Amino acid sequence: MAGRTSLVVVESPTKVKTIQKYLDRGYVVKASLGHLKDLPKSKLGIDVKKNFAPQYVPVRAKAKTLDELKRAGKKAKALYVATDPDREGEAIGWHIAQELGLPPERVYRVLFNEITEKAVKAAFKDPGRIDQKKVDAQQARRVLDRLVGYKISPLLWERVRRGLSAGRVQSVAVRLICEREREIRAFVPQEYWSLHAYLAAATPPEFVATLREKAGEKIVPSTEAETQAIVAELERLPFVVKAVDRGERRKNPSPPFITSTLQQDAARKLRFSASKTMMIAQQLYEGVDIDNEGPVGLITYMRTDSPRVAAEAQAAARDVIAARYGPETLPERSPFYRARKSAQEAHESIRPTLLDHPPERLARHLSRDQLALYRLVWERFLASQMGPALYDTLTVDVTAGPYLFRALGSALRAPGFMAVYIEAPDESVASAVPDEIESEVSGLPSLEVGQRLGLVRLEPKQHFTQPPPRYTEASLVKELEEKGIGRPSTYAQILTTIQKREYVQKDRGALSPTDLGETVTDLLVKAFPDIFEVAFTAQMEESLDEIEEGDQKWVETVRQFYGPFAKDLKQAGIEMEDLKKGKATDETCPQCGEGKLLEKWGRYGRFLACERYPDCKYTRNPGDSAQPEPEQAGITCDKCGRPMVYKQSRYGRFIGCSGYPECKNIKPITLGIPCPQEGCGGEVTERRSKRGRAYFGCSNFPTCRFVVWQRPVASPCPKCGAPFLTQRGGRGKRFVACWREGCDYRREIESA
């Protein structure tokens, strides 16, 4: 085979250019563009009776890529699988090796956690073989997910509506969001009060102490009357310094990023979704063109649950830290961060690959989002290798009769890692001591035990306990990780899928279930209590890890799952509630007066319909009031002469013929404002775009194409004479403004 080249297969075309430059002419690098084989879309593709054998077929969209790889494989002396270092990458490589048909002794596996010259050359110098245990773990996950999705989804189509689907892991994530939403609804706020004493010593300044105890026991007043009684008692008591304790507090740096923490901090600091974070991280990992260096992989592999750092990366970090921030910011030895039990220790944390590429040097080579994420990774990694932040603390206990007040002070003495990076606060964690006031140490006067203090004033504050917050993408990823649901490669896909399926909606970053999400979750949890249970799903993840470690066989794991699942599936086929048929209500149909209204599900969600359909076609949304008689529009249909009535659809309110469906004549509702286009004669009407956004256009559309996006107000512009103004708003204020280009008239209006 002299003179023949070796074929190297990676997943992404971006990596082709990056890796090719590190290899000599004896290698040709090509991309698979992900999976080349998968289970068929049109059928289950699993032979349950033959040990759950998966029936893989070539991915139709990748036929050209597969043919190209096969041609290259015929000429190659060896195949080097250089796909991503995880289960999916292993399975992709396994399928490629099967399709190319090279003998096993000519198929090699190369693994690297970073795409740098050193890492790539080291991997090719000491290649391994495809790890069948990893392949089996991926097969088990794929088969389990296919069984759940393809067996349960038809039930949802039959009982709720077509197009719905269930996912083994995604449905559990939706369940968590639904359960949190119900906690919020069931929450009853409890009143409580805090009490602060403003005190003066012999020397200024005044300081604040918070009520903590009475007669040695914690006290939190629950009513204003109780608080005022304490205030009245305290006003007659002397305030005396009981204890003055000076100390030191150390705050240690967080570990370098793993997938979940990168997604969390990118969400909190950069407002990135999990999917956006992973997309940009992939770009930084695969390589970015830098000056004359060509494509350079800037961070290590971004799908990891291990905080491990290579020894030489730690040594390089110490050099950079000492030079940039001073040797005093370094700990005596590089820190060691312990991984979770299930973490893959062969992986590293997410860190910069080349510390001689600081963010400021790369600013002109990266997009704004790439630079922001790279800076986050860079700063978090350097901080993780630095010493702790040191605070001087001062705690002063003050007594007044049986009551104890506490004043807290702190001052940052040595910033340590905080000179580089401060982790964003976790929005899901509440303060342990509500309304605690902490001052700078310098803001507390010199105090001695036994010293009597002057009471300046007492300040009570009313509070109410708060419900648990809705999940954000960041806090849901944290919850999934802590409960052992999913793995680094799946978090972003879980979040994307549950929103795409319209089971979950996101509003200002907060995730809440849709009506559809709650309905489907209730059906699934009732019919499949084990499969969609959090602990069961976590146990399945552990079983997949054990397959990868060689401690379980994948077929046996799937068989243990399928037995109870098949039993539940059969029972669900009999017992699962049929929402298409409808759930009876106590309300009589207001149109025919005979049938009862049924609560049903349709393409656009829940609705009420008469049980006498098709004889009676009355329907309405559940939240709408009953309207036996449609609201008259005051005009007659110009096609059939019958009255026109107001109607409602998902695109907004309009006027339609009362003779529907025989006559389907409809008209838009006008705002009573003439179209400003000269000679048009039409009126401004409210319309809806295909995406559901309201806009305002001429009733003579498409002859007249006048459009504005803000709601018109029937008031002429006092500056330019335009026939109407438009209503706008922002930052809590409302105003009207002229819509004509070049006119800057604007007037604030009072909010209703």
Residues with catalytic roles: 301
Which residue, among 506, 253, 321, has the nearest Cα to 261 in the 3D structure?
253
Which residue, among 380, 376, 374, 377, has the nearest Cα to 361 in the 3D structure?
374
Do 172 and 529 contact (CB within 8 A), yes or no? Answer: no
Strands 27-31 and 6-10: parallel
Do 238 and 452 contact (CB within 8 A), yes or no? Answer: yes
Helices (H), 187-258: 224-234
Whole-number Å distance between alpha carbons of 73 and 96? 10
718-721 own/partner pairs: CB under 8 Å, 24+ apart: 718/745, 719/743, 719/744, 719/745, 720/745
Q: How far apart are the first and last CA of the chain?
A: 83
Which residue, among 144, 86, 10, has the nearest Cα to 539 in the 3D structure?
144
SS3 520: helix
Do 558 and 140 contact (CB within 8 A), yes or no? Answer: yes
CB count within 10 Å of CB 416 equals: 23
Q: Tell me, what amino acid is at 311?
A: A
One DSSP character per residue, 666-720 reads: EEPPEEEEE--STT---EEEEEE-TTS-EEEEETTTTT---EESSPEES---TTT
One DSSP character per residue, 385-425 reads: TSPPEEEEEEEEEEEETTEEEEEEEEEEEE-GGGGT--PPP
Beta-carbon-side half-sphere exposure of residue 392 (alpha carbons within 13 Å): 9
Which residue, among 680, 199, 751, 194, has the nearest Cα to 447 in the 3D structure?
199
Burial class (CB in 10 A: 0-12, 13-18, 19+), 393: middle
